[in-house]
Amino acid sequence: MKVIQYTPEKLQTALVSNSEYLTKVYSKYTKEEKRLLEEGFHAGQPGSLFQLITVHSDSDWILAHPEEPEDFEAFYRKPYRKTPNESQSTIYIQTIGSFGEVAAQTDQYVEWLRDYCQAFFYGLSVKLLPAVAVSETKCSFRVNSNSYNLQILTGDLLQFLKKRKPKDAFCIVGITMIDLYPKDSWNFVFGQASLTEGMGVFSFARYDDNFYKRSYAGRLKKHLQPRQEDYSVFDGYYTPPITSTLLLRSCKTMTHEIGHMFGISHCQWLSCVMQGSNHLDESDRRPLDFCPICLRKLQFAIGFNIAERYKALLHWMDEDQTQTSVKASASHTDPHFTKPTEAFHASKLWVCRCLEIMEKDQ
């Protein structure tokens, strides 16, 4: 295992910049906000809030895809970086295909994702577009010749999203429980985006713990080769059960990919949700939130209060049985599903520590 570690001086330059103007901008943070951001200079030390990146194999993203680390100044000077404005300040989420056998639970799951994005990108509006069936996208599809599961073509989905993108959208993201492929020569892809167009599509299919097992329920019979435009093959097609782990992985993927829409590159400074990942194990090692350098990038783009954002995230993780009981007693006809946040426990403790650091007296 390899550990990637930068000196405190290098991390300070990456966060603050050597630019006189950007240093002046940084000075406008409150002392509480600076205290949190500068915790990153002590990453890797006992009790550190932020952790170092660990590389476990040559197949990990950071070795397989060498990139120049992007500091705040490089982010600031990007010519194609998109920033929300008064006329384009809404993140739209488009669900594609079924998200579960129980419609009410599917709707609840997508609402949880929307609410999480609303807290994560604090200050922006996040809205759900009406769900669409795969047939409505008119996309190409295939049966994977190795895993025998259904896959849909990302390029066609991006073209569909481009037509659906509202005028007030900062970006639009398509999400699906069906596996994806970008072209015939590729086995699969987790997702694909057009950052200049502000749109992307991502699949959660491979976040099912059983996906790589021969017993995976989404495997079709080997001889089945449905013809194009016969979308009936998607009717009743398997979708993974909604678990706490699936919700956690989905939240990570959505926020990582939407982060790219702001022009934030893959992080190579500290352990961060913006780290790239080549496989599920590597994705699971990523934390749920930003390192200080990427947090400053997002805060600069949106302009939120850092402490209020953490409080919003904590509220999302902390919605409890009291609220569930109130909703259940208010309606006996509409089922209410308790949000499965067990997998978020470590992240909740981490957010609490962030708030404690910002609120403690010096």
CA angle, 134 then 140 then 146, to 5°: 100
The answer to whether residue 86 is catalytic is no
Q: How far apart are CA 3 and CA 54, in angstroms?
A: 5
For 168, other C-beta atoms within 10 Å of its C-beta total 13
Buried b (16+ CB within 10 A) or exposed e, 305-343: ebbebbbbbbebbeeeeeeeeeeeeeeeeeebeebbbeb
| Residue among 39, 70, 257, 282 flagged as catalytic | 257
Count of alpha carbons within 13 angstroms of residue 174, beta-carbon side? 33
Q: Which of 253, 249, 278 is nearest to 200 (CA)?
A: 253
Q: What is the CA radius of gyration of the chain?
A: 21
Partner residues linked to 192 by β-bridges: 201
For 7, other C-beta atoms within 10 Å of its C-beta total 9
Q: Which of 239, 260, 244 is nearest to 131 (CA)?
A: 239
Buried b (16+ CB within 10 A) or exposed e, 257-289: bbbbbbbbbbbbbbbbbbbbbbeeebbeebbbb
Given the structure tokens 């759900």, which residue do they identify? 128
Q: Which residues are catalytic?
A: 257
